Amino acid sequence: MKKVVIPNEIKISGMNRKIQFLPKEVIFPGEKKVYFGPEFIYFHGNLSEEETWRELIKSLLFFTDFGGEIEDSAKCRIAGNLTVFLIENKFLGGTPINKIPKKVKILGWEYQVNEVDFVINENELCLGQADVLSGEIQLYANLPTYRKWVTFFHEVVHGLDVLEELSEKGVVWLSWQITKFLADNNIISVGGDLSENHKK
C-alpha cells in the first residue's frame, strides 16, 4: 500500500481552503461526497484517502475548466486516472518531489523518462513526446524547470486520456493546471513562478 497524505489545507484555483472531515452520520444533499464552503472543503467522514484525493483532483478539473472545453464525464475519468497516477508514483506521500521522476507508471505501463537534446516527432522539433511501445517519455533537456514539469505532465495527461477525449488544447490547458496545483500545494517543486509564465 502506497503512503498517501491528506493535507490540512489545500490551494485550488488560487484559493486556500481547510480540509474538514465530517462525522460519518452526516449526509450531504444528493449524497455528494464533498461540499465546498468559502473557507472549508467538507468531506464525507468515510471517504478513503484515495477517494478524498480523487474528489480534490476532480474539483480542480471542474474549477479550472472555465471554457467548458472538456466534457464532465471526461473530467471525472481523467481525475480518477490522475489520482491513481499520483498515488502509484508516490507524489502524495507528503514529501515534495524536487525532480521529475526517471521512471513512471501510467495506468500500468512503465515509462522511462529521458531528457534529450532534441525531441523529434514526425520530422518536427518539439518539447516532449511519449511512445507507448518503447515505453519512453522524452523531454527537451534545455527547458526551465517549471516548463519541463508542464511538458512532463502534458505527456502524462495524454497517457491518462485513454479514450482520447481531450483535444490538444485541452491537454495543454490541463497540464498547466495540474503543474500549478501540485506546485501551489508543495507536492512538487518547480523552481519558479508558474503564473508569471503562463501565457508564454
Name the site residues for Zn ion (rule: CB under 5 A): 171
What H or E segment, with its residue span, contains residue 16? strand 15-21
Reduce the DSSP state of residue 156 to 3 states and report it: helix
Residue 158 Cβ, how far from Zn ion at the closest point, in Å? 6
Residue number, 34 or 166, with CB nearest to Zn ion: 166
Residue number, 113 or 171, with CB nearest to Zn ion: 171
Residue number, 28 or 118, with CB nearest to Zn ion: 118
Beta strands in 72-188 (DSSP E): 103-106, 109-116, 119-121, 124-126, 128-131, 136-140
**Under 8 Å between Cβ of 176 and 194:** yes
Q: Which residue(s) pair with 40 in the sheet? A: 18
Shortest Cβ contact with Zn ion: which residue? 171
Residue 171 Cβ, how far from Zn ion at the closest point, in Å? 5
Residue number, 92 or 171, with CB nearest to Zn ion: 171
Residue 128 Cβ, how far from Zn ion at the closest point, in Å? 8
Residue 152 Cβ, how far from Zn ion at the closest point, in Å? 12
How far apart CA 152 and CA 137 sit, in angstroms, is 8
